[in-house]
Homo-oligomer: A and B are copies of this chain.
Amino acid sequence: MAASVPTRTIGRLSLYRRLLGNLIADGVEHVYSHQLATMGGVTAAQVRRDMMSVGYSGSPKRGYEVTALAGSIGNFLDASHSEPVALVGVGNLGRAIMAYFAGRRPRLTITAAFDSDPYKLNRVILGCRCHALSEAGAVIGQLGIMTAIVTVPASAAQDVADQLVRAGIRGILNFAPIRLRVRPGVYVEDIDMTMSLEKVAYFARQNAETRSIPEAAVI
């Protein structure tokens, strides 16, 4: 139905929508591609191409209408109804993420939590009931959950992913530092914080080395 859109474009659309939300809050009514580009750290041509892919047209005079564009992106990105999300692994990181998403995107709500710790079972943590993973099939099936966040240790992640996929999950946001193997038709997005931090440290060092003398002058 929807033309196939590259995964990076989907990410940028999510970004634009947030920017548009800010503009709406500020009472702005129209925006040009180059303005969105500056705010989003992309090029103006890229913004225009992305708008094309959601099928929204701007006008050469006033650019894009902010509320209408936000609506178009919403139609493109969102489900027709509010969507529940599952989270597996109610440790430090899991709880922080639950708190982070609480009330942020009303259309994506963490509705079910799972953990292997028997002490946490059936307790309500951050407004969300904590189940045993063995109940995943039943709970996920009953609530019609398609999206899950995995915040368990690497050693448990593949097993958890297998159970989630069997339970009907079609998309996983994976924080475990391991590459999950899932069957085709299940989308996995990895957030590997260790990898990201090592990358930042590497380039920080490169930057410091290559411009150690000029930088003092530049500042």
Contacts and interface: CB of A to CB of B under 8 A. Distances in A.
A215 B104 CA distance: 32
A118 interface: no
Given A100-B93, A204-B169, A199 B10 contact: yes
Interface in A171-189: 171-173, 177, 179, 181, 183, 185-187, 189
A77 interface: yes
B149 A205 contact: no
B93 A193 contact: no
Contact of A203 (B10, B18, B191): B10
Tallying the copies of this chain within the complex gives: 2
A83 to B, nearest CB: 6
A170 B105 contact: no
Interface residues of A, number: 67
A18 B198 CA distance: 11
Nearest to A41: B179
A7 interface: yes
Q: Chain A interface secondary structure, helix, strand, loop or mixed?
A: helix
Contact of A186 (B149, B173, B177, B207): B207
Contact of A198 (B77, B181, B192, B200): B77
B101 A92 contact: no
Contacts of A11: 192, 195-196, 199
Given A15-B195, A105-B194, A177-B18, A200 B215 contact: no
A18 B181 CA distance: 17
